Structures are given as structure tokens and as C-alpha cells.
Amino acid sequence: VQLQASGGGLVQAGGSLRLSCAASGRTLSRDVVGWFRQGPGKEREFVAAIRWSSQITYYADSVKGRFTISRDNAKNTVYLQTNSLKPEDTAVYYCAAGSRLITSNIGQKAGYDYWGQGTQVTVSS
């Protein structure tokens, strides 16, 4: 599976961006697709995930109510709608996919088998 992340950019605080993660190579019908982010000098952290088959979603507490993850089956693409952005959301955002994830490890990087390149999100104050 190859993952291509896009949609990052520079936005003012309070603004919005929609990130996309397009998959190729096979369908993601058996997978969980997640978004992680890594800010300057920080560890890569879990942001959100969606279980493709059931569309059950998971969010980090820091983004609940502001970010929404969704998927488009026809386009084999996952989206991350980011609203009410804050300067602390500034990071490189990565998408990842895995087919062996369960609820208890869905926020752990090690559970994901495939990673896309990052897309930079910069939020100015």
C-alpha cells in the first residue's frame, strides 16, 4: 500500500484545512487509517483514526470537537478536516494504515504498517 498525504499549508489561528490521504496498491477495506503529527522537537503523536469497514472513529483529546476524520470509499482516500486551528497544531501530519489494529492500540505508531510522507501544517497566531 502506498499512501500520499496532501493538503497542508499556512493558516491563521482559527482557520481550517482539509488534509487528504490517498491510497494506492489495494483497497483499505480491511484497514484502520490514522493520522499522526510531529511538531518541532516533539514525538510523533496520534491525532485521529477511522476503521474503514465500520467508519468508527477515534480522536486524541487535544483535537476532539475540532477535527473530523472521514473516508471516501470510491476514491480510497481518507480526509482529516481540521477546524479552529491553534498554533500548537503546527506539525508535520502523517497518515498511516494497518490491518491488525484493535481499539487498545489504535493510537500507537507501532500498530501501523504503512506510512505516507508528511504534509506540513503551520498555524500562525
- Contact criterion met (CB below 8 Å) for 16 and 89: no
Rounded Cα–Cα distance for residues 69 and 46 (Å): 13
- Contact criterion met (CB below 8 Å) for 10 and 122: yes
64 vs 19, 25, 36, 61, CA distance in Å?
Answer: 16, 31, 14, 5
Amino acid at 70: S
- Contact criterion met (CB below 8 Å) for 36 and 49: no
pLDDT of residue 29: 87
Residues 6 or more apart whose CB falls under 8 angstroms from that of 70 comprise 50, 55, 78, 79, 81
What are the mean pLDDT values of the chain's consecutive 10-residue runs (125 residues total)?
Answer: 97 98 92 97 97 96 98 96 98 96 92 96 97
